[in-house]
Amino acid sequence: MILTVTPNTALDRVLFLPRLRIGGRNQATASLEAMGGKGCCVSLVLARLGTATLATGLAGGDAGRRMEALLRAAGADTDFVWTAGETRVNLVLLEDNGRHTTVCAEGLLPTPADAGRLIERLRGHAAEAEAIVVAGSPPAGWSLAEYEAVVRAARGAGKPLVVDAAGAALHAALCVRPEAIKPNRDELAQAVGRPIRRAQEAAQEAAALVEKGAGMVLASLGRGGAVLVTRAGAWRAPALSVAARNPAGAGDAMAAALALGLARGWRPARILREAIALAAAAVEHPATGDLDPAAVPGHRERVRVRRVHL
């Protein structure tokens, strides 16, 4: 079983429209409600692949119940800490030209005691976990120390740990030396303090994060594919050309590949191959953080991974 921890759960309200007109009236051609919180998206992907997974985190209100129902319908187990407030509902706008815009909301109103409750829940399930994923931002009202305590508890469980975070939360996670982190291009640039334009630059800066405490860095680069860096070397794979419908969950699919790879002892090149294949299947799906598992084998065969020199 792979355990996912989402401190700030969410749903995505996805709207498809020809073109976003700022300041004007926009008519959506279709809409749907989908998963939103990063860790929960990882559990959704894993469940679609037939992998046992349990999702925990903070949840609240009717939106939280709908979020939990999506996971359970896919076959994931859940055990959330229920708090005051409401699981947030983000707005994702997808234009016909491929551009997507996300408006993030706040909703949960957790107390400091809820951090302790989540840590207890995490520790209670960790014994059965093959790997643990802590993903997403801390909720409003939480201090960085409370978020770091959750990550430390996950690290202390003695199972491979994947962290998908940004900004100060990512730096806090590096202090506990997780087995893997999964920044995107912007998060990597923020972490190292300079823009990332080329895959080679991404690999070099990922190597710097390995030196700061990450055992493995999988950096997603959008249409540029991804790079994976460990102390043993660096690998790159271009993105696959697919009919993209919703790119918002591609990074979460890659985090799922990381967790699978660590749980099963895969070599880095295989992890990267799986990450690219799952990301391609995810962007083909209209719902955030979801995919059609039947598409994955064909995508996997088309992935080209090569070793790169730093």
Structure confidence by residue, pLDDT tens digits, 146-205: 999 999 999 999 999 999 999 999 999 999 999 999 999 999 999 888 889 898 999 999
Q: What is the model's pLDDT at position 112?
A: 86
Percent of the chain residues past pLDDT 90, beyond the cut: 85
Q: What is the model's pLDDT at position 31?
A: 92
Which domain does 236 fall in, by range?
2-20+28-308
Residue 51 CA to residue 136 CA, distance in Å, equals 21
Q: What is the model's pLDDT at position 204?
A: 93
Name the pLDDT band for 310 (thresholds 50, 70, 90). Answer: confident
Structure confidence by residue, pLDDT tens digits, 41-55: 999 999 999 999 999
- How far are the Cα atoms of 1, 51, 198, 275 from residue 239, in angstroms, in the given order? 28, 24, 14, 10
Q: At 24, list the tokens.
A: 């004007």
Percent of the chain residues past pLDDT 70, beyond the cut: 100
Domain count, the chain: 1
Residue 187 CA to residue 199 CA, distance in Å, equals 14
Residue 165 CA to residue 172 CA, distance in Å, equals 9
Residues 162, 164, 166, 168, Cα dihedral to 10° = -30
Which residues is 14 bridged to in the sheet?
32, 92
First to last CA, the chain: 35
CATH of the domain at 303: 3.40.1190.20
